[in-house]
Amino acid sequence: MAVGKSARVSASGGVNVREKATTASKLLGKLDPGVIVTISAGPTTADDYTWWQVDNGKGLVGWVAAGTRDDPWLQPETGSGAAAGGGKLVNRSVRLGDRVQVTTDDRVLTVRETAGKDGLAVARAVPGTQFTVRGGPVRQDGYLWWQLEGEQVRGWAAEGEEGDRWLTPVEP
């Protein structure tokens, strides 16, 4: 995340907006899951959290804790913008036949031999990697899985989880 960029609230219960970057600071309001904000300052660290000052564009400006690496509450908005190989990322669900891009921020996406968390890992795709969707969806282990085909990889990957899209469709 960076000042001037958009971010999305990804915490399932929303996030508290505070006057200062600390959990002891005055509560100014709350942002619901999925709300898009603009980063206006930060990062700063306090109370074992990384904090960003955000503006919801409707008069609520304050500090939000970004959560933890395993449980992010605020994430860069990756559902729109330019795609790595040309085209445009679009904020919608994946469909059969789509060209998709891995949008996991700084984490790799595991591509598996079969749909499901127990499927053998066949590849790890870095953000920006693009695939064509060849099969699916299959609901398994609480995720929606798609069969992907890339230059040297064919396997299954999860679309993402609530508030965190790992595969984003690319349109010309």
Whether residue 91 is found in the same domain as residue 62: no
pLDDT on residue 85: 65
Look at residue 1 and tell me if it is in a domain: no
Q: Encoding tokens for residue 121?
A: 């890992």
Domain count, the chain: 2
Q: Where are the alpha helices (DSSP H) in the chain?
A: none
Residue 161 CA: distances (Å) to CA of 1, 16, 23, 42: 19, 21, 27, 26
Whether residue 34 is found in the same domain as residue 94: no
pLDDT on residue 122: 94
Whether residue 94 is found in the same domain as residue 155: yes
Whether residue 166 is found in the same domain as residue 133: yes
According to DSSP, the residues that pair with 149 across neighbouring strands are: 132, 154
Range 120-126 contact pairs with CB under 8 angstroms and sequence separation of 24 or more = 122/153, 122/154, 122/155, 123/150, 123/153, 123/155, 125/150, 125/153, 125/157, 126/102
Whether residue 86 is found in the same domain as residue 69: no
Look at residue 109 and tell me if it is in a domain: yes
Question: Residue 127 belongs to what domain range?
Answer: 81-171
State the average pLDDT for the chain: 87
Residue 82 CA: distances (Å) to CA of 86, 109, 120, 128: 7, 20, 32, 10
Cβ distance 63 to 74 under 8 Å?
A: no
Query: Which residue is listed with tokens 């700063």?
Result: 44
Whether residue 67 is found in the same domain as residue 41: yes
Whether residue 20 is found in the same domain as residue 72: yes
Look at residue 17 and tell me if it is in a domain: yes
Domain-ending residue, one of 76, 95, 124:
76
Residues of the chain by 3-state class (helix, strand, coil), percent to 5 = 0, 50, 50
Whether residue 137 is found in the same domain as residue 69: no
CATH number of the domain within which 70 lies? 2.30.30.40
CA-to-CA distance for 147 and 56, rounded, in angstroms? 36
Q: Give the amino acid at 31.
A: L
Task: Give per-residue pLDDT as tens, 75-90.
Answer: 776 555 556 667 788 8
Q: The pTM is what?
A: 0.56
pLDDT on residue 83: 64
**52: pLDDT confidence band, cut at 50, 70 and 90?**
very high
Whether residue 150 is found in the same domain as residue 123: yes
Look at residue 36 and tell me if it is in a domain: yes
Q: Tell how far CA 162 is from the center of its chain.
A: 9
* Side-by-side strand order, sheet with 74-76: 27-31, 15-18, 61-65, 49-55, 36-46, 6-9, 74-76
